[in-house]
Amino acid sequence: MIRILFFVMLAGMLFFLNACQSEPVIKSSALSEGPVKVRVKPTYEAEDRSYEAHWGDLDFPVVNDPLPGNKVKQFSITKEAFLANINKPLSFSRGGKPMELDVIAVVVYNRVNGQPSMYHFYPRNNFTPDTTRYGTYLQQYVEDGAHVSIRGFRENIPINSVAFRVVDSTGVYHPPVYFKSLNYIEKEVFSFQLYTAMGRKTLVRLDTTSEDAQNVYKIYRDKPDSYEILHIPEFKTIRRALKDEEKLWPSDDFTRINLLEKTKSWPKDLEFYPEFYEFEDKIIQLNWGQLKTPAILEKKEDQQNWRYGPKWEGWPNKEELFEFLSAAKSQPLQLMVDEELWKPVRFDCWITSETTEDYRFLAEDIRHPEIHKVLENLPQRSSVYIDNLLVENKNGDVRWFPVPFAFHFP
**Whole-angstrom Cα distance, residue 277 to residue 293?**
19
194-198 long-range Cβ contacts below 8 angstroms, 24+ apart: 194/240, 194/241, 194/242, 195/230, 195/242, 195/243, 195/271, 196/241, 196/242, 196/243, 196/244, 197/243, 197/244, 198/244
| Most confident of the following: 51-65, 246-260, 294-308 | 51-65
**Whole-angstrom Cα distance, residue 398 to residue 386?**
17
DSSP assignment of 311-339: -STTS---THHHHHHHHHTTS-EEEEETT
pLDDT at 63 (0 to 100): 59
pLDDT at 175 (0 to 100): 73
Residue 104 has pLDDT above 70, yes or no: yes
Q: What is the mean pLDDT of residues 359-383?
A: 92
pLDDT at 190 (0 to 100): 92
Give the contacts of 370 (CB within 8 A, at least 6 positions apart).
36, 38, 257, 259, 361
Question: pLDDT exceeding 70 applies to what percent of the chain?
Answer: 70
pLDDT at 109 (0 to 100): 73
Three-state DSSP class for 352?
strand
Average pLDDT, the chain: 77
Residue 66 has pLDDT above 50, yes or no: no
pLDDT at 246 (0 to 100): 67
Three-state DSSP class for 251?
helix
**Whole-angstrom Cα distance, residue 31 to residue 275?**
20
Q: Which residue has the higher pLDDT, 8 or 277?
A: 277
Which of 71-80, 187-196, 205-214 is predicted least confidently?
A: 71-80
Q: What is the pLDDT of residues 302-356, one digit of tens each?
A: 444 444 445 445 556 666 778 788 888 899 999 998 889 999 999 999 898 877 7
- Asked if 259 and 36 touch (Cβ cutoff 8 Å), the reply is yes
Q: What is the mean pLDDT of residues 384-409?
A: 90
pLDDT at 315 (0 to 100): 59
What is the amino acid identity at position 375? Answer: L
Give the N- to C-terminal CA distance of the chain in Å, as an integer.
Answer: 74
pLDDT at 371 (0 to 100): 95
Domain ranges of the chain: 49-167, 250-409
Q: Which residue has the higher pLDDT, 36 or 118?
A: 118
What is the amino acid identity at position 369? Answer: P
Give the sign of the dihedral formed by CA 182, CA 317, CA 257, CA 43: positive
Q: What is the pLDDT of residues 229-282, one digit of tens each?
A: 999 999 999 888 888 766 666 444 566 789 999 999 999 888 899 999 888 777
Q: What is the mean pLDDT of residues 55-81?
A: 67
Topology (CATH level 3) of domain 49-167: Immunoglobulin-like (2.60.40)
pLDDT at 21 (0 to 100): 42
Q: 56: how many CB neighbours lie within 10 A of its CB?
A: 16
Give the contacts of 388 (CB within 8 A, at least 6 positions apart).
270, 346, 347, 348, 400
Give how far Cα 334 sits from Cα of 150, 218, 288, 295, Å: 39, 40, 7, 14
pLDDT at 353 (0 to 100): 83
